[in-house]
A and B are shown apart, each in its own frame.
Chain A
Amino acid sequence: MREIVIDPITRLEGHGKITIFLNDDGNVENAYFQVPELRGFEKFCEGRRAEDLPIITTRICGVCPVAHHMAGAKALDAAFNVEPTETAKKLRELEYCGYFIYDHILHFYFLGGPDFVVGPDAPAAKRNILGVIEKAGLEVAGEVIKHRAFGQRITGIIGGRPTHPVSAAMPGGIAKAIDEDERQEIEDMLKSCHEFAKFSLKLFDDVVLKNADYVNLITSDPYNLPTYYMGTVDENNKVNFYDGKVRVVDPEGKEFVKFGPSEYLDIIEERVEPWTYVKMPYLKKVGWNGFTTGPDSGIYRVGPLGRLNASDGMATPVAQAEYERMHKTLGGKPVHATLAFHWARLIELMYATERGLELIKDPEITSKNIRNKPGKPGEGVGIVEAARGTLIHHYQLDENALAKKINLVVATTHNAPGICMSIKNAAQGIIKNGEVNDGLLNKVEMAFRAYDPCWACATHFAIGEMPLQVNVFDSQKKLVKKITR
C-alpha cells in the first residue's frame, strides 16, 4: 500500500491534513481528513458570566465572529426568556447582512473563486487573487477591497467593532441604536454592494457557466455527493440567515424534519473518531452508518448549497431568479454537486444585499426601542446560519446567570463528514494508477475548498490554493516521490 500525505492543506502547517492511501494498483483505497486542533471553548466557558459568552465565543474565529456573537445573542434571549424588540431584531439581521457580504466576498475572490475564474488546471502561481485580477481586470481589485471593507464597516457600526463585535448580544435586544447619519451611510454602502453582487454573478456567468468544460466539471461524478441538507428557513420555507426553523431535506429533496432551536438534541448527534480532533455530526433518526451517502446515511451538509437545497427559494427577487436558474442549469433540486457551493454563495451574496436594503429602508430601523427586559436566567439554544452553515450555541445558566454548561455545534463541524467523503470521492475519481501531479491534487483540494471550511479560521486558506507537500510512499513505506508546491 502506498501512502500520500497532503500536509499542510492550508498555508498554515498544522491546521488540516489529508492522508490518501493507495492500494497496490496505485488506486485510492481510502482518504482521511484530519483536524489537528482543539481549543476547548466548551470547557473554559464554564463558570463565565452569561453576558460574556457572546463576546468570548467570537474568539473561536476572527472571520466568523459575527455569527458566534449572534448565535450567542439568541441563546441569551432564550435563556433569559425574553423576545428582543422588533428594531433590535432588524438591527441584528442588518449587521448579519454586512457579515455575509464581507465573508462571501472574501471566499469567492480570494479562496475558492480562483479555481474557476483562472481555471482548475492553471499553473499554481496563477490560481490566486492576482490571477483573478489579471483575468477580470485591475479595477476589480479595488472593488473587491472596497466592498469587503463595506461589509466590515456595517458590522462595525452596529456591533461596535468589525471583528469580535460586542453590542448586538444583550439579552432582549441590542445595546445601541443607530442614528440617521449611520443609517444613510449604511444604505449607501449597501447600494454599492448590491451592484457589486450583480457584477459578481455576471462574472460567474461569463467565466464559468458559459464554459461547457466547467459545467461538466461541476456536475461530474467525483464532485457529486447525494446527502441530506440542512438550513434555516422562514415561515414560507425561504432561506433566512438570522431566524426561523431549521429544515432538513433528504437526498431526494423532500422535507425530512423541521425543528426549532430547543429541539436540536432530538435531531443531531455527534460521533468521536480517534484520528481527528473534529467530531462527526449526523442525523439521529437515521443514525451513523459510516462515511456513506444516500438516504440510509445520516450524513448531511450545510452552508450555501445546504441552505439553497433545504429551502424552497430566496425571499428577495434577484436572488430568487438566480436560485431558479441554478437549479435549472444543474438538473433540478436538490443539487448534489459540491462545486455548486460557489454559485450558491454568490446567490446568497445577492440576497444579503437585497435583504439589507429592505431592512435599512424600514422606518423602524432607527427607533430607540432596542431592548426588552430580561427574565430569570435558565437554559437557551440559539441558532443562526453562519456563512458556512448552521451554527448552534446552547447555554445552561445557573441562578446567578453564570454558565453551568455550554455546547457548541459549529458550522464547519456539520460538514466534516461530507468533506471527508468529498475528498475521498475526488481522490478516487482523479488519482489513477498511482499518477499524482500538481493539477490533480488541486482538483482534490477543490472538493473541500468549495465548503469554505473554517477549522479555526478561514483566513488560513486565503488566496485560493494551498501549498501541498505530498509524500508518496511505496508499500514498504519508502519515500518514492515528493512533490512540493
Chain B
Amino acid sequence: MAKEKLKIAFYWAASCGGCEVAVLDVNEKILDVVAAADIVFWPVAIDTKYKDVEAMPDQSIDACFFNGAIRNSENEKMAKLLRQKSKILVAFGSCANDGCVKSLANLSDKDGVFERAYLETQSTVNPESVTPQTRFKVNEGELDLPEVYDTVKTLPQTVDVDYTISGCPPPVPSILVMFNAFITGDLPPKGSSFLPNKAVCDECPREKKHSEITEFKRIYEIEDDGVTCFLDQGVICMGMATRAGCGCQCPNVNIPCTGCGGPGPRVVDQGAAAISALASLAKDINVVKEIVDPVGTFYKYSLANSILKRKVQK
C-alpha cells in the first residue's frame, strides 16, 4: 500500500537564523526530505500564513521542527498553535531547548535591556529619553509594536515537546539522523534527543591525564599545544557537561568547548554539572571564587533551562 506523504512544518521564534542555515547545510540531501514529505508550513520557503495554519485540523501536521526561544507573546502564541496542530513537536536548536545566549538577558529584565540600548550606549543621543512604545500616535495615525517579555523561556517551558535536538546550530549529521528517523518512521521513545548519547569529551581526541587543576587560566593566556586536554592545561572546557554530536568542533581548532550542545545526557543542569566536575579536579581552589563570570561561563547557552532560570519570575 502506498504510504501517504508526511506533512511537516518548520518554524522559528526568537532565533538568529543559524538553525535555518543548518537545514540548508544538508545541501542536496534536503531533496530526500522533500521526496518523502510535504512541507506545509515553512516561512523561509513557502507562503503559508498564520491563518492557514489556524485553519488546519488539529494534529494534522505529522512533525513540526521549532527553533528559536520564546521572547514575546507572538512566539508563545505560535508555540501553542503549532503544538495543537502537530502530532510531533521537535525543539530544534539551542534557543528552543535551552534559551541559548539570548537567555543571558534573563540576568536583567526588559527595562534594563531598554535602558542600555536606548539611553546609555555611547553613540546614542537621546536627551528626551525616548524609548520604543507598543502603541504610538504619529501625525498620520497610530503605529503598534509587539511587547518584549522580561524573560526568555524555552519551548519545553511553554508547551509539551516530543523530541529534542540541541546545538547552536544543531550539527548537520544529527539533523540527518533526525530526518531519517521521520522518513523511515523508526522513531525513538518520546522525550529522546537526536544527538548522540555521549558528551563532547567522549569524542575529543585530546590526551587526558585529569591531573589536578592548581590555577585557572584563560584561553588567550596559554600556549595551547593542540594535543593536551584543556582541563589539564587549567583552561575551563565545557566538554564534560555538554552533549556531543558536533564532532568536537571547537577543541579541534584549539578552542575549548563553550557548551552549545546543551546539557549532556543524564545531566539536568549543565552549569551545575560542570561546576561539580571542576570542583573534583581543582581540590585546593575555590572554583566559584577563582572563576570569573561563572554564569556566562557555565550557562552561556542554557540559562533559561537551568535551576537559576531568570531574574524576573513570571
Q: Residues of A with Cβ closer than 8 Å to B?
A: 1, 3, 10-14, 19, 21, 29-30, 32, 34, 36-40, 42-49, 51-52, 55-56, 59-63, 65, 80, 145, 148-149, 152, 159-164, 166-167, 170-172, 175-176, 264-265, 268-277, 279, 281, 374, 394, 400-402, 405, 407, 409, 456-460, 462-463, 467, 469, 484-485
Which parts of B211-265 form the interface with A (CB within 8 Å)? 218-220, 224, 226, 246, 249-250, 252-255, 258, 260
The number of residues on chain B lying at the interface, defined by a beta carbon within 8 Å of a beta carbon of chain A, is: 79
Segment at the interface with A among B21-29, B56-64, B189-197, B266-274: B21-29
Does B292 sit at the interface, judged by CB under 8 A?
A: yes
Does B309 sit at the interface, judged by CB under 8 A?
A: no
Q: Give the residue of B44, B71, B168, B258 whose beta carbon is less than 8 angstroms from that of A11.
A: B44
* Nearest residue, chain A, Cβ from B123: A270
What A residues does B145 contact at CB under 8 A?
34, 36, 275-277
Segment at the interface with A among B84-92, B129-137, B281-289: B129-137
* Nearest residue, chain B, Cβ from A165: B253
What A residues does B130 contact at CB under 8 A?
272-274
Count contacts between A and B, CB distance < 8 Å.
Answer: 242
Whether the Cβ atoms of A270 and B293 lie closer than 8 Å is: no
Whether the Cβ atoms of B74 and A460 lie closer than 8 Å is: no
Does B6 sit at the interface, judged by CB under 8 A?
A: no
The interface centre, meaning the residue of A1, A37, A39, A484 with most chain B CB atoms within 10 A of its CB, is: A39
* Nearest residue, chain A, Cβ from B47: A467
Q: Contacts A62-B169, A269-B125 given; 18 further ones with Cβ under 8 A?
A: A30-B138, A39-B71, A40-B105, A44-B104, A48-B104, A51-B218, A59-B100, A61-B17, A80-B220, A149-B27, A160-B252, A163-B18, A164-B260, A172-B220, A275-B136, A275-B138, A463-B44, A467-B49
Given A29-B140, A52-B300, A164:B18 Cβ within 8 A: yes
Q: List 8 A-B contacts (CB under 8 A).
A: A38-B113, A38-B148, A44-B101, A160-B250, A164-B260, A268-B123, A273-B132, A402-B293
What A residues does B43 contact at CB under 8 A?
10-13, 460
Given A12-B43, A30-B140, A44-B105, A276:B132 Cβ within 8 A: yes
Does B107 sit at the interface, judged by CB under 8 A?
A: yes
Does B139 sit at the interface, judged by CB under 8 A?
A: yes
Does B35 sit at the interface, judged by CB under 8 A?
A: no
Smallest beta-carbon distance A279→chain B, Å: 7
Smallest beta-carbon distance B148→chain A, Å: 6
Tell me the bound Cα distance from A394 to B122 in angstroms.
10
Given A14-B146, A51-B219, A167:B168 Cβ within 8 A: no
Which parts of B137-173 form the interface with A (CB within 8 Å)? 138-141, 143, 145-146, 148, 168-169
Given A62-B16, A160-B249, A274-B132, A39:B102 Cβ within 8 A: yes
What B residues does A11 contact at CB under 8 A?
43-45, 47
Whether the Cβ atoms of B117 and A42 lie closer than 8 Å is: yes
What A residues does B224 contact at CB under 8 A?
175
